[in-house]
Amino acid sequence: MRWSVIALIFIIINVCGSCGNKEKGFKKHDSGLSYRFFDMHPEGATPKAGDIVILSLKIQNEDNKVVDESSFYRMQLGKPMFKGDFYTALSLIQVGDSVCFKLDAAGYFEKNRKRDLPVEFKRGDPVYIFVRLKNILSSEDLESEKESTYHTDFEQEKNLLKNYIELTNTTVKPTASGLYYIEKKKGKGKIAEAGKTLVVHYTGTTIDGKIFDSSLQRGKPFSFILGRGQVIKGWDEGFQFMQEGGEARFIIPSDLAYGKSGYSNLILPYSTLVFEVELLEVK
């Protein structure tokens, strides 16, 4: 068992170090994408459109800079949106396979991921994506997987939050609503007030540290009107403590965020969220 773990670590290290190694070892698919297999399991199942796939994922640019990564990334596989896209890539692999895909960065982020091209890329750049296909789930399987792997009620969420507060040495007390507001840098500009438009940068993570959204990665600030319900309750409350130029951390329990429903496959039910925020401008 120990040697199996060591071998797996060796594979991951070598794969992640090789993704940005230009064309060395890569083969060209008829669709135009390039790929390099590191571990193949031809006996494994192949995902098809509509399946929910569980992946470990690491995304790099040409300079080998890691732009995003997750050891447990869930997505529903769609039909190919254009020739050589990420959906096409995933249809080439089986459960257990480890592979690096070279795709067009703009196509991958803007069409498959439906987000702006990160600042680490410019149009025409490739993106290198290391993928290990861990499992394929039906919608019923996904519900069972959620129940066995994640907290599914408020009491479990409270216990996870308590552990997080202790592990991060957070000493501030929550507000009456349960929000933890941690000031990192005091602003000196205009005060954020209800009805004002705020321009902010942020990075949002789940309590286990997985990034689910970041304006910094998109390279584009986010704007909203404070106090109008355009954002989650934790934001409407937290930003009222801030001034232009300020930076803070919000620890937001699920009842001030996405509650028992969660949000798509990005945020599961009863998820406490952590946001690193910067208030750039008050209009």
Give the catalytic positions in this structure. Answer: 202, 212-213, 232, 258, 275
Largest Cα–Cα distance of the chain, in whole Å? Answer: 62
What whole-number distance in Å separates Cα of residue 140 and Cα of residue 208?
24
Bridge partners of 59, per DSSP, are: 68, 129
Angle in degrees, CA 115, 74, 166, rounded to 5: 95
Q: Which among 24, 90, 22, 18 has a CA at the least distance from the CA of 52?
A: 90
* Three-state DSSP state, 14: helix
What whole-number distance in Å separates Cα of residue 100 and Cα of residue 58?
9
Enter the tokens of residue 28: 């060209």
Q: Are the beta carbons of 209 and 272 closer than 8 angstroms?
A: no
